[in-house]
Structure 1
Amino acid sequence: MPDLRILFFALFCVHPTRSSLCPLGCECSEAAQTVKCVSKDLRSIPSGIPGYTRNLFITGNQIRRIGPQAFKGLDNVTTLSLSNNRICEVESHTFSTLRSLRSLDLSSNQLAVIHPEAFTVQSRMLRELNLSRALYNHSSITDLATSLRWSSLEGLLGLDLSSNGLVYLPPRIFSHLSSLRRLQLANNSIVSIYNETFSGLEYLEELDLSLNALKTFREEGLLELEHLPRAKLNLGQNPYTCTCGIEPFAAWLNVSQGKVVDVERLICMFPVDLRNTSLLTAARLILGCHRAGEGDNLALQTSYVFLGIVLGFVGLMFLFVLYLNRKGIKKRIYDLRDTCREVWEGYHYRYEIDSDPRLAQVSTTADV
């Protein structure tokens, strides 16, 4: 009988202790080394997360800011998901205590302030960073660019920036991600690829630029794609405009079909008469651009030549008229010279009288 009391007492004591290891509102599984705090209206990262945790999911809450105090003591966490929490600010060194972190998901948040060293991880083991639908607006890309430069992300392999409404990418934004293999930029509003947009990504293997606002790739954009020798490209579902300016891109596609995964699905959206025409055939359909351009240049050159002839003729006529009237012109010049001399002598005489009082007195007497 005493043994039963001891057993019941032991069970009563041990059970609360085990349950207290899991924060209120979370579900913990020591066997799976996983903690889930999903849609519990949490306002901050809960304290008391077990040290055994390797997979931590805190999603669907009301957490506005995260900082370096939030994840202390969680050395074993390898996968951290903070999606859909309405996070608007990430402080510097927020994740620096997560020494084993390999995957970080911040998707579906409202990041307006990203501090320069927000993604610094001491072990530099972070491999996947998901920022899909995470930026508050397209201007947040400036903060992100600074953070990617200052944070220790040399080992990052995958970066997802899809669905952020991005209009442009700052030059060299990815230059410090030298190990990056996968870059997702789909479903944004990127209008053009400029020089040094993808600088430093020599080892990139996948680049998704589908569902953007690209009308064509100009020469500097094509050079950027050429600087990604290993990358497979997704360029579909963009509003390509098949006018003369797209010919270099169409020609590039014809010689780089193995590089573009969805090349067969790249079609013209404008003008209307070429809509749904494959870009692979567009170059042949609008080759007349070169001929039209050459005709325009020829017409312009002809106009310049004709204008030069007319001006030359007018100049010759002017010189001829001057030659015929050379004697009259010479006489007019001499008359003008004599007139000017007389006026000058008169002024000079008046000046001498005014400057000498005696001469002025003589002049007055003479007048009388």
Structure 2
Amino acid sequence: MLRFLVLSALVLLSSAQSTRECPDNDYGPSQCTCTITALAGIDHRIIDCQGKSLDSVPTGIPADTFSLDLSNNAITEIPAGTFQTLNSLEQLLLSGNQIAAIPDGTFLGLDDVKVLKLSENRLTTLTSEMFSSLLSLEQLDLEDNQIATVSGSPFNGLARLRELRLNINRIVNLPTTVFQGLESLQKLYLQDNFITSVPTQAIRSLDTLIELYLENNDILNVRNDSFVGLTSVLNISLSGQPNLVEVEAFALRGVNRNLERLEIKDCPKLTILHEETFQEFTQLQRLVLSNNNISRLPEAALKDLNRQALVTLSGNPWICDCRLSWLRDWMDEPVMNPGLLDVSNVRCAAPPKLQDQQLDVVDRFDLDDEDVCNLLNPAGQIGAGPVLVASLFSLFCALALSFTV
């Protein structure tokens, strides 16, 4: 972990006073800049070739180079063995090029590389063990490529990898063995793909994972036990699913007691959640359920939450009747975090008499009004379908009462 922090610090130190230019007789490629950065009394050679319109990796890179930046060039391919003599390299930056494939042997000799960035390239395929020679790798960035095909175990052998970015690609399905060998992975970025279901079988072995990002995919249902095996996870994001219709009652079973942050927002077809979904969330600090299509929230759904957790419910079409009176009372509790429930944006969509009113200022009597408190609600669910149906039912009841008088 210390070496990982050292690598991150190098970016900040590159302009520090301890940085000096390399000697003329030991400079490296003429197109690039060469600097020596002293860190903890040890000199590190930094070769910076970014933005030089290079169409290939330049020759003459000194063997003791610690960090090599080839970002934002026009490199299309890297022949096998290109970096084989760079035995001191710990950071290799190849983002913003036009690399479409990584042949076998590309990274031979890079036993000490900790950081590899290949974002914003044209990779389409990940094949079995293509990074296997990078035995010390801790951070791998494959963001914003065109990856659609993932086969075998492309990350097998990366036992020290802590962060893996596969976001902004074209992935639909992930094979069961895709994350095999990732014994230390802590952060997994899968957002902005075309994934249709939580890759339960693929991720179940990631017992060191802390953060999982799945937002902006095409997930239709989050099924029971979707996250089983993720015994260390603290943060899950499922937001931005345009077709998500259900999070099943026990979808989060196995992670609920440790989870600190959960986001399920911006899902316009999500009308139903279950009371059991948030049971035993005793460590939760942040729950975001904003901008969905949820209209009801039984009290039992949040009864096990940490009472100091920040819950965001804004942007949903709430049906404000007696079944939501508990939430109105909860907003007034003096022990609550002032920002809890994002009260300024929890607005009523129905019944008509309360439409567009903020729930925190609705009179408690109005919620208990018999003419209001007669909307149907399926037992055990958060959400009762489209608000329009509920509003029409309320209007029908009101008309029926007027005829009986």
TM-score, shorter chain, exceeding 0.5: yes
In the TM superposition, residue 213 of structure 1 has moved relative to its aligned partner by 1.1
Alignment of 1:149-298 (within 5 A): 149=228, 152-165=229-242, 166-177=244-255, 178-188=257-267, 189-218=269-298, 222-230=299-307, 231-243=309-321, 245-255=323-333, 258=336, 260-271=340-351, 274-284=354-364, 286=366, 289-290=369-370
Q: Distance in 2 between matches of 1:126 and 1:96?
A: 13
Report what 1:138 is aligned to. 220
TM-score by length of 1: 0.64
Q: Residues 183 and 12 from structure 1, CA distance in 2 versus in 1: closer, same or farther, beyond 3 angstroms?
A: closer
Residues 43 and 62 of structure 1 are in contact (CA less than 8 Å); yes or no, is this contact kept in structure 2? yes
Counterpart amino acid of 1:154?
A: T
RMSD over equivalenced CA pairs, Å: 3.8
Aligned residues: 280
Residues 103 and 126 of structure 1 are in contact (CA less than 8 Å); yes or no, is this contact kept in structure 2? yes
Task: Looking at secondary structure, tell me which structure has more helix per residue.
Answer: 1
4+ aligned runs moved over 4 Å, structure 1: 10-18, 20-24, 26-32, 113-116, 291-294
With 207-216 and 279-288 compared, the bigger mean Cα shift is at 279-288
**CA-to-aligned-CA distance 1:188-239 (integer Å, 9 cap, x gap):** 1332432211134222121101111122323xxx112111124321111112
Q: Residues 241 and 291 from structure 1, CA distance in 2 versus in 1: closer, same or farther, beyond 3 angstroms?
A: closer
Q: Distance in 2 between matches of 1:164 and 1:292?
A: 32
Between the aligned residues of both structures, percent identity stands at 24
Is residue 215 of structure 2 the alignment partner of residue 148 of structure 1? no
Unaligned runs of at least 5 residues, structure 2 = 1-24, 26-58, 66-78, 87-91, 375-396
Alignment of 1:305-316 (within 5 A): none
Q: Residues 118 and 291 from structure 1, CA distance in 2 versus in 1: closer, same or farther, beyond 3 angstroms?
A: closer
Q: Residues 283 and 169 from structure 1, CA distance in 2 versus in 1: closer, same or farther, beyond 3 angstroms?
A: farther
Residues 126 and 153 of structure 1 are in contact (CA less than 8 Å); yes or no, is this contact kept in structure 2? yes
Unaligned runs of at least 5 residues, structure 1 = 5-9, 304-368
SS at match of 2:117: strand
Alignment of 1:12-27 (within 5 A): 19-20=83-84, 25=99
SS at match of 1:118: helix
Residues 226 and 252 of structure 2 are in contact (CA less than 8 Å); yes or no, is this contact kept in structure 1? no
Q: Residues 109 and 290 from structure 1, CA distance in 2 versus in 1: closer, same or farther, beyond 3 angstroms?
A: same
Q: Highest CA radius of gyration, 1 or 2?
A: 1
Task: Looking at secondary structure, tell me which structure has more strand per residue.
Answer: 2
Q: Distance in 2 between matches of 1:287 and 1:11?
A: 76
SS at match of 2:276: coil
Alignment of 1:45-60 (within 5 A): 45=126, 47-48=130-131, 50-60=134-144
In the TM superposition, residue 108 of structure 1 has moved relative to its aligned partner by 0.6
In the TM superposition, residue 59 of structure 1 has moved relative to its aligned partner by 1.8
In the TM superposition, residue 75 of structure 1 has moved relative to its aligned partner by 1.8
Report what 2:212 is aligned to. 129
Match 1:33 to one of 110, 114, 119: 114
Counterpart amino acid of 1:138?
A: L
Residues 92 and 120 of structure 1 are in contact (CA less than 8 Å); yes or no, is this contact kept in structure 2? no
Report what 1:355 is aligned to. none
Report what 2:193 is aligned to. 109
Residues 93 and 121 of structure 1 are in contact (CA less than 8 Å); yes or no, is this contact kept in structure 2? no
Q: Residues 120 and 248 from structure 1, CA distance in 2 versus in 1: closer, same or farther, beyond 3 angstroms?
A: closer
